[in-house]
Amino acid sequence: MTERFDRVRPDTVVVPPDRLEASAQAVSPGLRGAIDLAMSRVESYYMAQVDEGFEIRDGDARLGMLVRPLGSVGCYVPGGTAPLFSSLVMTGVPARVAGVERILVATPPTKDGNVPSAIAYVAQRLGAESVLAAGGAQAVAALAFGIEGVAGVDKVVGPGSAYVVEAKRQLFGTVGIDSLAGPTETLVLADDTADPRHAAADLVAQAEHAGAEPVLVTDSELLFERVPTLAYERAAALPTADTATESLTRRGTAVLVEELSEGIAVLNAFAPEHACLLVAQPERVMAQVRNAGGIFLGHHTMEALGDYVAGPSHVMPTGASARFASFVNLRDFEKVIPYVEATPKLLARVGEQAIAMARAEGLEGHARAIESRLFSDDAGDDALPAGDDAFPG
């Protein structure tokens, strides 16, 4: 399938360690330093989210919650026109901080059947168990089911093409998934204190992703008129001019509102992946934001910085799913397990109420399970015979 769709047939899908090492060594010292900085900042950010769980004493009961990492995760890294190695940083580092032991990586192969050097470098830094030179739906399948002696994973994370998204949709249940991410989107909310050049630059930065949706919402007539023109001028000057211009033309939107409160209402209704607040009082506006994948505060905080070195993962909910979903964080790589320890005193205090609820739902077996402890000794009249006849048949 890789030969059919990517026109490359790697001699092995699982990249051999020596080849991965050689590819990683090809990363320039400058880029290596930048990646190291990004990984360090992302790690520091997520260390603040580490949660050991909790325990409380409720009179005669002990209640708590355990936090346990997933055993294994497959990180998909988009290739296409450019290898997005930053996406591996933004999924792999939180997974490691959460305590995931096995990390697999899958990414479309280069023309020689290898993987891009920057992706190889990040994979090595993460201590990835295996790297698969495969992209698309077939790579998601390989991560889920395993391949060539490499066991499958518990969860597949990371953005990708429409085929990757559909594969994740179909495999949900076989494995966990982070989200069904669509094309990227940025909403710039700007008032008359914003520099039109900065607003245009932020919109164009997202527009150079294929199918992106750049949106300007402003209460300034000057910005409403000036920013779209500047955006087209900036897009035309990019190496990715065709893609950026198409995104602006097909999905770009400018909305003029009478006052900033209206703009906030538009933002919450749109629920953008990225909400850039180029306003005089970003903290006050942020307090009213309810639906956004991530918030970028103030005139000096461009979303593009968040794509690389700010700290939070840039894998964020799209397509208005920010109404109910969150950016990739430690919870994506963890399970929370509640535990309960009851005492006879607790049963005496709440057991009859539980029995009443069970019988109201028609679940007599539930009621009798509670009664067996509440109204009898440990064995009682209902004790089963020991030995081979304990569970006849």
Active-site positions read: 273-274
Find residue 297's DSSP bridge partners.
277
Residues near 35 by beta carbon (within 8 Å), at least 6 away in sequence: 27, 85, 89, 118, 121, 122, 125
Handedness of CA 292, 103, 20, 163 (dihedral sign): negative
Residues near 305 by beta carbon (within 8 Å), at least 6 away in sequence: 296
Number of residues that this document lists for the chain? 393
| 84 burial level (CB within 10 Å; 0-12, 13-18, 19+) | buried
User: Cβ of 66: how many Cβ atoms within 10 Å?
Assistant: 14
CB 374 within 8 A of CB 352: yes
Taking Cα atoms as reference points, which of 311, 283, 312 lies closest to residue 298? 283
CB 339 within 8 A of CB 56: no
Q: Which residue has the tokens 């103030």?
A: 298
Taking Cα atoms as reference points, which of 186, 208, 210 lies closest to residue 278? 186
Q: How far apart are CA 178 and CA 342, in angstroms?
A: 35
Residue 274 in tokens: 């990225």
Q: How far apart are CA 251 and CA 125, in angstroms?
A: 38
Query: How many CA atoms, within 13 angstroms, populate the side-chain half-sphere of residue 206?
Result: 31
